[in-house]
Amino acid sequence: MDYKQLAPFSPDFLWGASTSAYQVEGAWDADGKGRSVQDARINFPEGTTDYKVAADHYHRFEEDVELFAELGLRAYRFSVAWTRIIPDGDGEVNPEGVAFYHRLLDALLARGIEPVLTMYHFDLPQALQEKGGWSNRATVDAFARFAKVLFTEYAGKVRYWLTINEQNMMILHGAAIGTAGDSGDPQRELYQQNHHMMLAQAEAMQLCHELVPNGKIGPAPNISVVYPASAKPEDVLAAADYNAIRNWLYLDMACRGSYNPTAWAWMTEKGIAPEIADGDLEILASGRPDFLALNYYSTATVAAPLGTGSDVGAMGGDQQLAVGEEGVYRSVRNEHLPVNEFGWEIDPVGFRSTLREVYDRYRLPLMVTENGLGAFDTLEADGTVHDRYRIDYLDAHIEQMRIAVTDGVEMLGYCPWSAIDLISTHQGVRKRYGFIYVDRDEFDLKELKRYRKDSFFWYQQLIKANGSATRD
């Protein structure tokens, strides 16, 4: 549908930007912090850095928050490192870790920036991992306890809470993100982990409503609509199946407290359905989100599977590249879409479709907590960074989000990835996303000086105009 005129963004729309603890903070063992699975990780791709120093935000957060304020951010989405708060995951609380996030929150609030706090973003305490991680049901209790500490400490300072970042990607790409266990049946193990994370999330949502007056909480999966490769009925069905497995399994559980029937049938067929203990269904039904957060980078396109033993069209193994599955769907390249330097398809219209679809299904306000373009930026001799490609990407997505608002989607805010350069999940520091350039290489830390990119000034203007500068 085309519109003669687009609806405006609401005056209190949360224009923000995002980061996550292990990718930005560094200071991996400072002030009593325990090791997380990301600190313990050894399988970094050749030539890429670990997370020990990252952007050193832990030591430079005041300077960074000052820059965020200059950028005009109305919200900042960040994650708390579980291992700063409870170093071994389920033992003593570390007062220095707790104090760090108080300082960060105070700095944000003093500048009128609304904090959006992710409780857990890929960085499970290594001590819990050694006890079985999410395969061990005790991790559910550990998470609930951690959640209680966060709610009690930060209730007066944080209104918007996110439970688990991209739970669906931790399950779908467990091997790449580091959640896959070492049992002989990784997929079965992953879906048991998924069940445990669902329980943990439901408990956290319930606790938030008890402990945080005016608190709002939601999940933060990576959601994107799945297109059928053609109008062939079998392709359409394959897309519906993958939509259920990739998206609705997670959001149905968060919003409706029950398993998506198609996803459940798929798990049963494959023999990977989780064990459900007495009382689990009640716990799952007891948690309700107040809003839905979602990360969006790209769409996926799939076709009907071919016969046994045939190609499933695996396109790689990271969070945006669908891997096909025999008998279910075949991943295909969408010839209508360009790709970025890392092979991710770029699809702003798919962003509008995704927002509409999610809102139609669940009727809860939406917040975008990631969207952005990873690229190799160049710092010029005069300290400028000309990242027109990033501006184009963000501008096209914001335009489609505005059309989605005109379609009737209730949007709370938009927090692109990322506020400042940080370490990518798979491709080191060279794959940059930030509005602020951090001068370091993979192994040469230089001075970690901050520079404003062209996208910084562009986003600053866009926020000032409440998102309408370039198109009214």
8-state DSSP, 169: H
Name the H helices within 306-421: 348-362, 388-407
Q: Would you please indicate which residues are annotated as catalytic (active-site) residues?
A: 166, 370
Tokens standing for residue 313: 């069209």
The residues facing 417 across adjacent strands are 18
The least distance separating ligand BGP from the CB of residue 369, rounded to whole angstroms, comes to: 9
Tokens standing for residue 187: 């997929």
| Closer Cβ to ligand BGP, 153 or 347, answer by number | 347
Residue of this chain nearest to ligand BGP (CB atom): 424
Q: Pairing relation of β-strands 411-414 and 366-370?
A: parallel
Q: Residue type at 317?
A: G
The least distance separating ligand BGP from the CB of residue 275, rounded to whole angstroms, comes to: 28
Q: Residue type at 15?
A: W
Please tell me whether residue 331 binds ligand BGP under the rule CB under 6 A. no
Closest to 423 measured CA to CA, from 125, 24, 154: 24
CB neighbourhood size of 177 (10 A): 20
**Applying CB under 6 A, which of residues 25, 39, 88, 166 lies at the interface with ligand BGP?**
166
Residues between 356 and 415 with contacts to ligand BGP, criterion CB under 6 A: 370, 374
8-state DSSP, 417: B
| Closer Cβ to ligand BGP, 224 or 301, answer by number | 224
**Sole window of 34-42, 307-315, 322-330, 424-432 interacting with ligand BGP (rule: CB under 6 A):** 424-432
| Closer Cβ to ligand BGP, 434 or 467, answer by number | 434
**Applying CB under 6 A, which of residues 196, 431, 432, 453 lies at the interface with ligand BGP?**
431
The least distance separating ligand BGP from the CB of residue 394, rounded to whole angstroms, comes to: 14
Phi then psi for 118, rounded to 5 degrees?
Answer: -90, 130
Find all residues with CB under 8 Å of 354, minimum gap 6, and list them: 223, 224, 225, 294, 296, 299
| Closer Cβ to ligand BGP, 252 or 318, answer by number | 318
- Please provide the DSSP assignment of 40-71 as one string: H-----TT---SSSTT-HHHHHHHHHHHHHHH
**Sole window of 70-78, 83-91, 210-218, 417-425 interacting with ligand BGP (rule: CB under 6 A):** 417-425
Site string for ligand BGP, 25-64 (x = CB under 6 A): ----------------------------------------
The least distance separating ligand BGP from the CB of residue 89, rounded to whole angstroms, comes to: 20
**Sole window of 107-115, 187-195, 228-236, 423-431 interacting with ligand BGP (rule: CB under 6 A):** 423-431
Q: Residue type at 1?
A: M
Residues between 106 and 165 with contacts to ligand BGP, criterion CB under 6 A: 165
